[in-house]
């Protein structure tokens, strides 16, 4: 005889797995939105850095450049480069978080599919057991009638 399976418990597990899958999907969507925002910030920071570099080059090449303002242009360029570097690191971290959230979503989806498959198999097994019992009862009834006749 086969081990009895609690289908109701399996269905509850499948429901929990479904909720976990939805939560993981929404976490991945939030991570994608955060990554997009970080990418936009990176693009803006790189644009500001390029403008600062252009201004610095123009100031250096200018024939009437006061020497005391040159360090100001250099420090502005260095500040923009630091901003761009930090924005790049933030964008990389956001991409790593998105990759992690996608992996979590994939794992949650796989666990959900396994739980649904277990429910399906258990229902099928229980139906097969019922059919086998019905066939056995019919065969027993037939044998008892023939023996009594």
User: Which tens digits make up the pLDDT trace of 3-12?
Assistant: 667 888 889 9
Q: Which residue has the higher pLDDT, 67 or 46?
A: 46
pLDDT at site 110: 96
Q: Which residue has the higher pLDDT, 68 or 107?
A: 107
Poorest-pLDDT segment among 53-67, 94-108, 115-129: 53-67
Token digits of residue 48: 């500001």
Question: Is 149 a residue whose pLDDT tops 80?
Answer: no
pLDDT at site 98: 96
Question: Is 1 a residue whose pLDDT tops 50?
Answer: no
Share of the chain above pLDDT 70, in %: 96
Nearest CA among 93, 99, 114, 91 for reference residue 27? 99
Q: Which residue has the higher pLDDT, 149 or 41?
A: 41
- In this structure, are residues 79 and 51 in contact, taking their beta carbons and an 8 Å threshold? no
């Amino acid at each position: 005889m086969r081990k009895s399976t609690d289908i109701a418990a399996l269905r509850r597990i499948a429901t929990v797995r479904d909720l976990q899958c939805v939560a993981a999907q929404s976490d991945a969507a939030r991570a994608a939105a955060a990554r997009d925002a970080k990418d936009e910030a990176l693009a803006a920071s790189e644009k500001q850095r390029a403008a600062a570099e252009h201004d610095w080059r123009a100031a250096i090449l200018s024939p009437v450049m006061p020497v005391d303002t040159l360090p100001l242009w250099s420090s502005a360029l260095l500040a923009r480069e630091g901003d761009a570097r930090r924005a790049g690191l933030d964008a990389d971290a956001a991409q790593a978080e998105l990759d992690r959230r996608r992996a979590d979503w994939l794992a949650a989806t796989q666990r959900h599919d396994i739980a649904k498959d277990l429910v399906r198999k258990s229902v099928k097994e229980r139906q097969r057991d019922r059919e086998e019992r019905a066939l056995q009862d019919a065969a027993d009834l037939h044998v008892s009638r023939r023996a009594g006749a």
